Structures are given as C-alpha cells and as structure tokens.
C-alpha cells in the first residue's frame, strides 16, 4: 500500500482517514484557539469629545450633541427600563444627542473585543453570568471615576448632591480601594425565604433564635417536607452567603471585613468556624442529599411546589419565580437567625447591598455623557420608572415612595427597615473570583457532609493565602 | 506537462493555506506568546517568562484534570471500541450466511440508523438530555424508576467516585454510533471469500471475529483509537453542562478545557489559561504521535 505522488488513486479511504486524523489533531483542542483574541489592540486611539458648557441643567458639562452608546444586560430585569425610561430621560435633557442602544445576554462576549481594541461603549450594565470581571477592569484603568457624579447636584434638587439621594452603602458597594467606579442600582436584601401560606396553614412562625430555628426545622421535617436546601449544582454561593452572614452576626461585621481584606487567618476566625459547624448540622439533618445535583431553578421550583420549606436567596427570587409561583404562595423573608445569645449583632441584622452594576468606560468617546446618563438614572423619575417596570426597589431613597411592592419585596424592605443600622455587606466574591469558586466548592463539601467545619475553614484559608501571595492578582481593601 | 506545475499548485493552495495560517496556526502561535504574559484580557500584556508554567506545577486543579484525562484516555477508547466492534460485527457478519454472502443479524439496517442517532444531536443537547436521565430525584429518568420500586436514588453526578464514570458513560453513548458505522465500512471491504474459507475450515463466530475481522480491520481501529484519544482530551462541553458545580463535586470531573475556561473567562487570567492550553496542545500531540508510532505494523494486503 505504498503511496507516491504518481499514483494519486492510491490515496484510499484509510489514508485519507489517517490524514484527517492528523488534521483533526491540530484542530480538535479548539480551546487553544480561545486565546486568539487580538492582543495587539492599542489604547488611546479613541479621540474623546470636547466638553460642553456647564450650566445648572448640565452640571457635568456634557457636550450637548455627542452620541452615547448604552449596553444593557438583557436578563432578569430585561431592557425595557432602559429603552422606555432612562434613555428617553437622557434624550429629553439633551435632544440633540443620539442614544445608541444595545442589549445582550453575554456582556463579556460582546464587549471584550471592544475593550481590547480601545473602543468601548460609554455606558455598560455589567451583569449576568457572563459579566466582565470588575476587578480586572478597575486594575486596567478602564472604568471612569464616579466621584464627579456623586458630588454633582441631583436632578430633582440642585441643592442636594447625588450622593445624598441614595441609600447609605451604595457608593461603598461600588468602590475599589476607596474610589467609586461602579454604580450598583438595585437595592438587594438577602435572607431565608419561605411561603407565607405554607407557614400560616401549618401554624409555623419564622425563627429568631437558633433553638427556635431547629424546632421549626424539626416540625417541618415531621410534616414530610424538606426543611432546608439550596442548589449545589450551580448556586452554592447562596449558602456560603448564609454561613458568612451567620458569622457576621456572631462576631460582628469586622469578621467579614477581615475576609474581604485577605487578613491572615480571616477564615479561621472563631465566628466563621461556629457558623460553619452550625450549618453543617442543618445540612446533615434537615436537607436532602439530592439537592447537590440540582440547579437553582429546580430547587426554587420545589419550593413553589411546597416540597421545600426554606430557601436562601436574595430578593430577586420573587420576580425570578413569577412564572412558577402558585397563587397565594406569598413569599416572605426571614433574616438568618441568631446562633447564640451573645451574638454581637441582633437577630434582625441582615446582609443587604446594592446590586446590578453599571459603569462608565473611561476610554470611551464621551465618558461625561455616561456620567450624565447615570445622573438621570438616579433622578426620582428614573428610579420610579425603573421600579414600575421591573418591580424592584432602587438605591434612590425617594424612588420607591408610594409604590406597592409584591409581598416578597415588601417583606424584605420591611426587614431592611427593621435592621436599621445593622446592615452589612461583603465583597470578596467580586474582588477575587477564585476565592468565590473555592468557597462554593468547600460549601458543598461541608453541607453535604464530606468535610467538617475545621476542614472547611482550612481549605478556604489556604486559597485566600495563595491569592494574597499571588502578585498577578490586584488587591482591594475596604 | 511538468512545466508550470508549481505555479499551478501554489495558485490552488494559496487561499486555503492563507486561511489556515491566519485562523489556525497564527492563533496557536499567539497562544504561546500569551502564555508567557500575565494578560488579563484588556490592556497590553506584560511579559512574565515561564512564570505561568511554574505555577502550573503546583496547581492542584490542573493535575486533577490531567489525571482525569489519563482515565479518559484508557477508558473511553477501550469501552467505545469494544462496544462498537461488537455491534458492527453483529450488524455485518453476525447473522446467517445466504448464498455465500455474510449477513448481519435481523433488522441490522434499522439498528445501524438508530445507533447513529446520538451522533446527530449537538453535544450540548446530549448533556442537557442526560441531566434529565441522571437527575437525583423522583423526576430523573433512572432514579424515577428506582424510587417507584422503593429504592434509594443513585446520586450519579454527586458521588465523587461515581461522577467521572457517569460522564464517561455519556461520552461512550455518544461516540459508539459513529464507530459502528466506521467499523461497518471497514468490514464491508473485507472480501467474503476469506470468511467462507475460514468457515469451511470450521471456524466459529468467535474465531472469525478474532482471526479474520480484527486483523483485517487494524488500520480502521488505529484511526478510531486516535480519534477517541483526542476526544478524551476534550470532553469540555459535556463536563461544562452536565457536571455539578463546573467539574465538581470538588473537581472530581474536571478536565483541562474546563480549567482553561474557568481561568480565562471567570478569573480573567488569559495568560495562565493560555499556558494550560499550550500544555494541552503538547499532551494531545504527544499522544497522537505515540499512538501512530506504537500501532504501526504491517498492514495486510488483500
């Protein structure tokens, strides 16, 4: 079976196959191609537009006829709030400016090449599963400093700065090393959710202390309903959030600050260990092993079918489940209960933050326009319009006045009010994605009974130490 | 007509070679370059030399992935080829012989089409399909039945020592059809007289298979082995969609492509991810070269 160029007919099937195999060998690990994005993109070839004249109506000095491009993540909140509310507001303020709108479900896929080639859009809603790494963007100088926006007079009351119209903590949530870069717009409250109807029918009440909580779980179990569960397949962070919230309640908010700042031994703090041990027990006694193989949609559906009683999540849950929630289900939030009587924070304390990130690209053509767009978003009309379209409260204090929220959001807003000053947040997952991944994996190991609390804190601490030592990772402090 | 042959050949080759170089070779070369930098996907990368490769050496996830490729490399070709050979033999020469012509078992034509079905489905669809099959509660295809009989559900993708094998089962299920067709084509080209002669000498079906079919199919087998080996270095789509927690539980099913994906698109460490890509490239290359070298032997002329 010799093959010579003189006998092309001898190129039989097998030879062709063998050659095809050789070609396939080069082509199959296509993942190698993923690095093929252009690295040659140059910065600064994008000429920025000159400023306009500052005036009372235009405190930021936006050029009146400069175009602005808006990219919206078309996810849970849709894009209607942008096209129907915020963009018209900008158009009204600057009739001569063109507003280009684009919506996407994969933000990084669409925008990565634009950043790499130095031509990013002015305004970006960076959210969803494929969001761009905020830490990397900040480290790269791609984000516009928002200090100018926060210090600008607000749209509705020129005597009031924009920073004074939003819920406390909003600016901090979007700050990196003390500098504000990201606007988190939607007020988000975390807790444990239950069906008001299921609880009322069975005479159960939400628990404030740990003993009550265990009694409640036992009662639910006796009824043949899975008392507690989260989705291990893709949403383990809902559970580390509960464990860390518990830790903050036990040991005070500094526990979380140490974790965020990658302090030595931060994960090995007693509060974290105690919280992990307590929840490991809940996982072992009151959950279902099969949940590790389920996605969040499956588990949330089980709750809607009254097969699961308690589920940890943020207050987007009610909107997310709108399609599957039976009538009268009545979503209610209960804060994570206190573990001991000597907890540093009261039972009402909870984690709340501003969610859904927006930024202005520093290297875009018209960054001032982007800032102005944010100022319009933060106006009363902008916030009210958003809340009316997506049924979620914004960080603008005056924005949700007089709006009748559905029961779940109403209960989380009430819980937020009851918490008063005892509201805290954590940031490490946004700053160090690798630590988030490790915490998720470790949480599954802990909650489904493969490791104990000591091993849990040990392994996350190990990863935190490695990140601290890694010079290629930009560090953040708060 | 030797005159002017080269301009003619070059004229024909120019376009495909240019395309191939631009879209295949050049990105590969770039991957090598990026792997020597700490590029995070946005601004200009900085040169860090072999730092990323040094990091690979003590990256637990990387070694776990390599180990899984080792398992896949043994299990996937072995199981797939064994099943495919068995089916192909039954479909082509397993039945009665009529008029000196070997026949497949009854309904062979139907089975051949059915076996090929998985090949037609997109990989992502297969993964989603098997999510239903493996689902660990009463709505899962397998566990639903088990639980009806009052048995405990099997946590296919959740038990660390079962998860990888559950993934391998899907890969095999998906691949078998193609190799049945490939081997069938190979068997069809084996002359009937050889079987006839062997049968006259009193060979049983088993002897026929091992003494006639297998040796005459050697070239096709070799190709199958290389293909499956390369598939064993991939497995990304199935792992990404099907496994728990992206290659979990606790990395029990992770593969290199999964780690590359995570490092590049979740951690934005494009430089480090490229270094993994380069490692994968050399692993694949070594495997293919080794297989072709080791399985080289005199092929039988007929």
Are the C-beta atoms of A119 and A338 separated by less than 8 Å? no
The DSSP code for A97 is S
Answer yes or no: do A302 and A438 share one domain.
Answer: yes
Supply angle C-alpha A324, A328, A333, rounded to 5: 80
Confidence of residue A27 (pLDDT cuts 50, 70, 90): very low
Give the Cα separation of A99 and A67 in Å (integer).
6
Give the C-alpha distances (Å, rounded to integers) separating B229 from A21, A33, B122: 11, 19, 20
B174's tokens: 């998906």
Chain A residues in contact with B38 by the CB 8 A cut-off are 472
Residue A87 has pLDDT above 70, yes or no: yes
E-state strands within B96-201: 97-98, 101-102
B151's tokens: 């048995």
As a whole number of Å, the end-to-end CA separation of chain A is: 72
Size of interface A-B (CB pairs under 8 A): 178
Answer yes or no: do A113 and A206 share one domain.
Answer: no
- pLDDT: is A391 or A270 the higher one? A270
Answer yes or no: do A433 and A459 share one domain.
Answer: yes
Q: Which residues contact B181 (CB under 8 A, 6 or more apart)?
A: B112, B115, B116
Give the Cα separation of B193 and B219 in Å (integer).
20
Which pLDDT belongs to residue B18? 92
Give the Cα separation of B153 and A116 in Å (integer).
49
Which pLDDT belongs to residue A178? 86
Give the Cα separation of A295 and A300 in Å (integer).
9
Cross-chain Cβ contact A32/B31 below 8 Å: yes
Strands A175-176 and A179-180: antiparallel
Answer yes or no: do A107 and A131 share one domain.
Answer: yes
Q: What is the CA radius of gyration of chain B?
A: 24
- pLDDT: is A19 or B37 the higher one? B37
CATH number at residue A379: 3.40.190.10
Greatest distance between any 2 Cα atoms in chain A: 91
The count of domains in chain A is 2
A99's tokens: 């507003």
Q: Which helix (H) or strand (E) holds A371?
A: helix A367-377
The DSSP code for B24 is I
Supply angle C-alpha A382, A388, A389, rounded to 5: 90
pTM of the model: 0.80
Give the C-alpha distances (Å, rounded to integers) separating B205 from A409, B199, B234: 72, 9, 36
Chain B residues in contact with A450 by the CB 8 A cut-off are 160, 249-250
Taking the Cβ of residue B159 and every Cβ of chain A, the question of whether any pair is shorter than 8 Å is answered with: no
Does a structural domain hold residue A234? yes
Answer yes or no: do A165 and A197 share one domain.
Answer: no
Mean of pLDDT values over A381-410: 86
Quick one: what percent of chain A has pLDDT higher than 90?
Answer: 54
Distance of CA A259 to the CA centre of its chain: 18
B118's tokens: 């998985």
Are the C-beta atoms of A35 and A352 separated by less than 8 Å? no
Confidence of residue A12 (pLDDT cuts 50, 70, 90): very low
Does a structural domain hold residue A371? yes
Confidence of residue A436 (pLDDT cuts 50, 70, 90): very high
Answer yes or no: do A271 and A132 share one domain.
Answer: no
Give the Cα separation of B272 and B39 in Å (integer).
8
Taking the Cβ of residue B19 and every Cβ of chain A, the question of whether any pair is shorter than 8 Å is answered with: no
Cross-chain Cβ contact A133/B45 below 8 Å: no
Q: Which helix (H) or strand (E) holds B52?
A: helix B51-57
Q: Of A408, A414, A372, A406, whose CA–CA distance to A388 is shortest?
A: A406
Confidence of residue A13 (pLDDT cuts 50, 70, 90): very low
Confidence of residue A278 (pLDDT cuts 50, 70, 90): very high
Residue A213 has pLDDT above 50, yes or no: yes
Give the Cα separation of A126 and A136 in Å (integer).
13
Mean of pLDDT values over A135-160: 89
Answer yes or no: do A401 and A442 share one domain.
Answer: no
Which pLDDT belongs to residue A3? 37
Question: Considering CB atoms only, which of B234, B244, B246 is closest to A293?
Answer: B244
Mean of pLDDT values over A369-394: 91
A376's tokens: 């319009």
Answer yes or no: do A312 and A239 share one domain.
Answer: yes
Residue A390's domain comprises 68-188+353-409
β-bridge partners, A188: A353
The structure tokens 């919230």 sit at A245
Confidence of residue A37 (pLDDT cuts 50, 70, 90): very low
Q: Which of B39, B41, B53, B278 to mutate to test the interface with A (most CBs of A within 10 A)?
A: B41
Answer yes or no: do A203 and A297 share one domain.
Answer: yes
Residue A376 has pLDDT above 50, yes or no: yes
Q: Of A406, A197, A218, whose CA–CA distance to A306 is shortest?
A: A197
Residues of chain B with pLDDT under 50: none
Give the Cα separation of B302 and B300 in Å (integer).
6
Strands A308-314 and A226-228: parallel
Residue A1 has pLDDT above 50, yes or no: no
Cross-chain Cβ contact B288/A22 below 8 Å: yes
Chain B residues in contact with A136 by the CB 8 A cut-off are 40-42, 268
Answer yes or no: do A174 and A202 share one domain.
Answer: no
Taking the Cβ of residue A23 and every Cβ of chain B, the question of whether any pair is shorter than 8 Å is answered with: no
Give the C-alpha distances (Å, rounded to integers) separating A371 from A125, A170, B231: 13, 16, 49
Cross-chain Cβ contact B24/A437 below 8 Å: no
Which pLDDT belongs to residue A183? 93
Are the C-beta atoms of B126 and B174 separated by less than 8 Å? yes
Answer yes or no: do A182 and A298 share one domain.
Answer: no
The DSSP code for A394 is B
Question: B58-294: what fold?
Answer: MetI-like fold (1.10.3720)
Residue A19 has pLDDT above 60, yes or no: no
Instruction: Tell me what the pLDDT averaged over chain A comes to.
Output: 86
Answer yes or no: do A167 and A291 share one domain.
Answer: no
Does a structural domain hold residue A105? yes
Which pLDDT belongs to residue A276? 95
Phi and psi dihedrals of B99, rounded to 5? 60, 35
Taking the Cβ of residue A126 and every Cβ of chain B, the question of whether any pair is shorter than 8 Å is answered with: no
Question: Considering CB atoms only, which of B30, B236, B278 is closest to A39?
Answer: B30
Confidence of residue A403 (pLDDT cuts 50, 70, 90): confident
Q: Lowest-pLDDT range, A306-310, A320-324, B271-275? A: A320-324
Q: Of B132, B166, B143, B154, whose CA–CA distance to B239 is shortest?
A: B166
């Amino acid at each position: 079976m010799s093959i010579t160029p003189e006998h092309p007919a001898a190129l039989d099937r097998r030879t062709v196959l063998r050659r095809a195999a050789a070609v396939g060998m080069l082509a199959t690990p296509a993942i190698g191609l993923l690095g093929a994005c252009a690295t040659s993109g140059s910065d600064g070839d994008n000429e920025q537009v000159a400023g306009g004249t500052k005036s009372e109506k235009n405190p930021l000095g936006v050029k009146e006829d400069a175009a602005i491009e808006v990219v919206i993540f078309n996810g849970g909140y849709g894009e209607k709030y942008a096209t129907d509310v915020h963009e018209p507001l900008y158009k009204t303020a600057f009739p001569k400016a063109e507003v280009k709108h684009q919506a996407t479900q994969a933000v990084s896929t669409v925008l990565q090449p634009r950043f790499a080639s130095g031509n990013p859009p002015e305004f970006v809603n960076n959210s969803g599963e494929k969001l761009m790494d905020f830490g990397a963007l900040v480290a790269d100088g791609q984000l516009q400093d928002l200090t100018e926006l926060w210090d600008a007079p607000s749209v509705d009351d020129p005597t009031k700065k924009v920073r004074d119209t939003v819920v406390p903590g909003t600016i901090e949530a979007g700050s990196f090393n003390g500098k504000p870069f990201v606007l988190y717009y939607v007020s988000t409250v975390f807790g444990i959710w239950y069906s008001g109807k299921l609880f009322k029918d069975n005479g159960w009440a939400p628990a404030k202390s740990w003993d009550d909580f265990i009694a409640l779980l036992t009662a639910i179990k006796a009824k043949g309903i899975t008392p507690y569960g989260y989705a291990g397949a893709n949403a383990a962070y809902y559970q580390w959030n509960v464990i860390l919230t518990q830790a903050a309640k036990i040991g005070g908010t500094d526990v979380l600050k140490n974790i965020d700042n990658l302090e030595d031994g931060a994960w090995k703090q007693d509060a974290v260990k105690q919280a992990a041990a307590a929840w490991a027990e809940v996982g072992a006694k009151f959950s279902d092993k099969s949940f590790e193989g389920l996605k969040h949609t499956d588990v949330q559906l089980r709750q809607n079918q009254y097969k699961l009683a308690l589920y940890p999540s943020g207050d987007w849950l009610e909107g997310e489940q709108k399609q599957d929630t039976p009538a009268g289900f009545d979503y209610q939030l209960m804060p994570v209960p206190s573990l001991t009587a000597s907890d540093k924070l009261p039972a009402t304390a909870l984690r709340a933050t501003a969610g859904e990130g927006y930024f202005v690209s520093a290297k875009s053509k018209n960054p001032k326009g982007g800032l102005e767009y944010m100022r319009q978003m933060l106006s009363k009309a902008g916030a009210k319009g958003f809340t009316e379209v997506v049924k979620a409260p914004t960080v603008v204090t005056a924005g949700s006045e007089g709006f009748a929220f559905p029961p779940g959001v109403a209960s989380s807003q009430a819980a937020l009010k009851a918490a008063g000053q005892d509201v805290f947040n954590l940031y490490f997952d946004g700053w160090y994605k690798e630590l988030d991944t490790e915490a998720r994996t470790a949480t599954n190991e802990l909650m489904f009974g493969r490791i104990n609390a000591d091993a849990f804190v040990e392994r996350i601490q190990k990863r935190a130490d490695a990140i601290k030592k890694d010079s290629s990772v930009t560090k953040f402090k708060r | 007509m030797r005159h002017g042959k080269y301009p003619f050949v070059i004229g024909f080759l120019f376009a495909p070679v240019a395309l191939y170089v631009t879209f295949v070779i050049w990105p590969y070369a770039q991957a090598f370059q990026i792997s020597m930098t700490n590029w995070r996907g946005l601004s200009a990368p900085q040169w860090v030399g072999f730092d990323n490769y040094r990091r690979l050496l003590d990256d637990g996830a990387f070694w776990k992935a390599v180990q899984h490729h080792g398992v896949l490399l043994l299990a996937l070709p072995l199981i797939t080829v064994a099943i495919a050979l068995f089916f192909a033999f039954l479909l082509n020469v397993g039945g009665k012989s009529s008029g000196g012509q070997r026949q497949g078992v009854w309904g062979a034509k139907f089975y051949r089409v059915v076996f090929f079905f998985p090949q037609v489905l997109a990989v992502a669809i297969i993964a989603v399909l098997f999510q239903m099959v493996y689902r660990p509660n009463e709505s899962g295809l397998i566990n639903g039945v088990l639980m009806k009989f009052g048995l405990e559900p099997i946590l296919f993708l959740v038990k660390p020592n079962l998860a990888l094998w559950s993934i391998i089962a899907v890969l095999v299920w998906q691949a078998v059809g193609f190799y049945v067709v490939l081997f069938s084509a190979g068997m069809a080209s084996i002359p009937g007289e050889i079987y006839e002669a062997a049968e006259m000498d009193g060979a049983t079906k088993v002897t026929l298979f091992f003494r006639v079919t297998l040796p005459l199919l050697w070239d096709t087998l070799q190709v199958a082995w290389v293909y499956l080996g390369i598939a064993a270095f991939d497995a990304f789509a199935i792992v990404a969609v099907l496994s728990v927690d992206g290659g979990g539980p606790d990395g029990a099913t992770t593969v290199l492509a999964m780690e590359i994906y995570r490092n590049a698109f979740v951690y934005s460490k494009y430089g480090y991810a490229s270094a993994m890509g380069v490692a994968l490239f050399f692993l694949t290359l070594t495997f293919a070269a080794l297989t072709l070298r080791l399985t080289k032997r005199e092929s039988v002329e007929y």
